[in-house]
Amino acid sequence: MKRSLFLAPALLALTACAMAPTYVRPEVPTAATGFEEDGAWRQARPGMADDRSPWWQAYGDPQLDDLVKRAIAANLTLKGAEAQLRQSQALAQSAASSWWPTVGVNGQATRQRAAALSGAQTYDTRAGALQASWEPDFWGRVRSSVDAADATARASEADLAAARLTVQASVVNLFAQIRVNDALIEALQRTIEGYGKALKIAQSQLRAGVATPADVALAQSTLASTQAQLVDVQLARKQSEHALAVLLGLAPADFHLPAAALTLNLPVMPPQLPSQLLERRPDIAAAELRVQAANAEIGVARAAWFPHLVFNASGGGTALGLWASAPQRVWALGAALTGTLFDGGLRSAQNAQAVAAFDQQVASYRQTVLGSFQEVEDNLAALRELAAERELQDQALAAARESERVLLKQYQAGTNTYVALINAQALSLNAERTLVQLRGREFAASVALTKALGGGYTSSQANTNN
């Protein structure tokens, strides 16, 4: 009889039904022909991100590799995301504890002195008991709570992966921008040196009566304007350096990156990227997991309509050392059924809230997926168009430098005006600045595309059949 009392709840639990709707991944509207800017793709099915792939090594700079590793180890945003993940995992473990009975113990010991017919007597009283209670999951409330907490924990894991990928991309972007600024500073310093020589020539020709004071004033103005541009670029470099220091978990005053040439490689983007690379995007994975969690929360809200059945058991004795003796041993078994008959519409409101939260997460998921396709399209187009623009700008720079060289000789020979020379020098500087900035934009688009695809990938992944 006693055995059947304990087995009955377990058997009933096996027949528990989940009240949450059957989860189906939300559909996302996508183009039928694939990436407009690339090739064919298939609809992505979110998975876990490959956020630990050292994709930044493709840029070919050991110093960049070291900086990214330092940022991953010390970045404070990542430490916060890691703490959030631990919190979510603890909440999932807390929800899973509801599967098990709750067992408690209590004991007491007292010494009393009381009056009696034979005189005052002193005696000790000792008692102890074990209590256990368990609620079988008839309506799937616990199952839905565990499913929701588990999905939320896995979403936090994806959030950590997204934060890690964002930090990696930010370090690469800032490092590339600093190197672009170094190249601009070098070009401006070289141009300033040339403008200084041109000013000396103008001053010499003014003393010889060949040039006019206007030529000297123009040379001075051009030189000062270029020096001001140099100060502006140096400021931008310092600000990028400060931002990089914060990513490394350092105070800006404690970090300095020496100037160096722009030698970064631009990774070659293989043709016809398969859209399954998007499956590794952590934000897509997190968005879908939150849809799953919201779906399970509907089950929790629905289970509130049904009564709670709790089984209780207790046992103990009035003499702790004599439990084996039947006169001091007591026990009890029982069950309690509770339910709500009227709540003023509370459960209806909770159900409506759960459904609305699910709809919100579905919309957020769809927006995330559509946004990911836009990011890929944008950056594929950017890389293609910037490459074509850079080729044309190379030609423009070569022509500007040749024009500057010829006009400088003509001006020195007195066969051309200083205005023509200064215009040629300005055109050459602008062409070089534009070319360096184009390279910076290419690096930014490359990093953005890698991030949009969920991290690094190999050639075999890029060539995977859809």
Predicted confidence band at 6 (pLDDT cuts at 50, 70, 90)? Answer: very low
What's the average model confidence in pLDDT over 304-323?
73
Host H or E run for residue 382: helix 346-412
Predicted confidence (pLDDT) per residue in 235-263, tens digit: 999 999 999 999 999 999 999 999 999 99
- Beta carbons of 453 and 281 less than 8 angstroms apart: yes
Predicted local distance difference test score (pLDDT) of residue 328: 59
Q: What's the confidence (pLDDT) of residue 61? A: 94
* pLDDT grade for 49, boundaries at 50, 70 and 90: very low
Question: d(Cα 193, Cα 125) in Å, to the nearest integer?
Answer: 101
Amino acid 11: pLDDT: 41
Which residue did the predictor score with more confidence, 422 or 115? Answer: 422
- Per-residue buried b or exposed e for 398-422, using 16+ beta carbons within 10 Å of the residue's own CB: eebbebbeebbeebeeeebebeebb
Residue 466, pLDDT > 50, answer: no
pLDDT of residue 339: 84
pTM: 0.81
What does the pLDDT average to over 395-417?
Answer: 87
Six-digit token string for 397: 């720079």
Q: Are 281 and 372 in contact (CB under 8 A)?
A: yes
8, pLDDT greater than 50: no
| pLDDT number for residue 461 | 47
Per-residue confidence band for 5, with pLDDT thresholds at 50, 70 and 90: very low
Distance CA 248, CA 241 (A): 11
Residue 225 CB neighbour total at 10 angstroms: 11
- Residues 56-68 have a mean pLDDT of 94
- The first and second tokens of residue 191, run together, are 């141009």
Distances in Å between the Cα of 8 and the Cα atoms of 12, 100, 130, 311, 335 are 6, 15, 21, 10, 12
Name the nearest CA neighbour of 88 among 283, 296, 290.
290
State pLDDT tens for residues 144-187.
899 999 999 999 999 999 999 999 999 999 999 999 999 999 99
Q: Can you give the pLDDT at residue 326?
A: 52
Per-residue pLDDT at 2 exceeds 50: no
- Encoding tokens for residue 285? 């994975």
Q: What is the pLDDT of residues 116-127, one digit of tens each?
A: 666 667 767 777
pLDDT over 50 at 331, yes or no: yes
Question: What average pLDDT does the chain have?
Answer: 82
Structural domains in the chain, CATH included, are 40-97+145-304+382-466 (1.20.1600.10)
Q: Is 307 left (phi over 0), alpha (psi -120 to 50) or beta?
A: beta
Residue 324 has a pLDDT of 45
45-54, 193-202, 411-420, range with the lowest pLDDT: 45-54
Q: Which amino acid is at 201?
A: I
- pLDDT tops 60 at residue 14: no
pLDDT score of 297: 92
Contact 218, 422 (CB under 8 A): yes
- Cβ atoms of 131 and 314 within 8 Å: the answer is yes
Comparing CA positions, the residue from 37, 34, 447 lying closest to residue 276 is 34
Give ∠ CA 139-357-89 in degrees, rounded to 5.
70
